[in-house]
Structure 1
């Protein structure tokens, strides 16, 4: 799968300017649309959790041109998320909330092309994380 790296970098640069607002919107969307995942965050300090989420997004976007680094990082992230109780069925929920939050953050810059680039990127990211999770379970 090829990703539109330039479009992902360009659209994310807009989001980077308002990281705290973005993560608040993301978790509000996630918990509103999928209340069943909220218990996974019962012991989380949400401000710190939001920063971890945003740092992971920054690392992912910054590593798009270094696929070996990105693959290893995302597989490790997937392995760690198993320990937090994250299951394969949670990934589409997070993806949906991420897209909704990006759409909100980007406003008129959220085009079909940008949406497709993020769908493709998230699909690849989720698969790599799931590969890392599978490694731990086997």
Structure 2
């Protein structure tokens, strides 16, 4: 896994002071672009959900330098998401909403390099979560 760890850490540091707003905006962006996923959250406490997303992002960024820990955590997250009804086709929607939200919050600091760093990171996140999901389905 060859990720641009420095850029990921720096860009995440920038959104940290507004982390709660960031995760709220993420769900607004997700539901605006993909209204078909909104019913999946019908029984969900969204305040709790936002905390879970933030915790997952923190977990990813804190473990970028510990690939084994990160892979295990993401596989576990993938297993949990199978139970939530998450399908592989939902992952691109989430990735797109995440990138949109980073762009909103980083503004002029959302450079092509930072964007690519997050595209690569989300690719790894998806890959590892789906390994966990596949293990459950198998």
TM-score normalised by the shorter chain: which range applies?
over 0.9
Q: Across the two proteins, how many residue pairs are aligned to each other? A: 138
- TM-score for the superposition, normalised by structure 1: 0.99
Structure 1 unmatched ranges of 5 or more: none
Residue equivalent to 1:52? 52
> Equivalent residues in 2 for 1:16-27 (5 A)?
16-27=16-27
| Cα deviation code 1:33-77 (max 9, x no counterpart) | 001100111111111100110110000000000011000000000
- Local SS of the residue matching 1:89: helix
* TM superposition outliers: structure 1 runs of 4+ over 6 Å: none
State the shift of 1:99 in Å: 0.1
Q: Distance in 1 between matches of 2:22 and 2:9?
A: 16
> Equivalent residues in 2 for 1:1-138 (5 A)?
1-138=1-138
- Local SS of the residue matching 1:17: helix
State the shift of 1:20 in Å: 1.2
Q: Distance in 1 between matches of 2:48 and 2:79?
A: 20
Q: Distance in 1 between matches of 2:81 and 2:23?
A: 18
Q: Distance in 2 between matches of 1:36 and 1:86?
A: 12
**Once superposed, what is the RMSD of the aligned Cα atoms?**
0.6
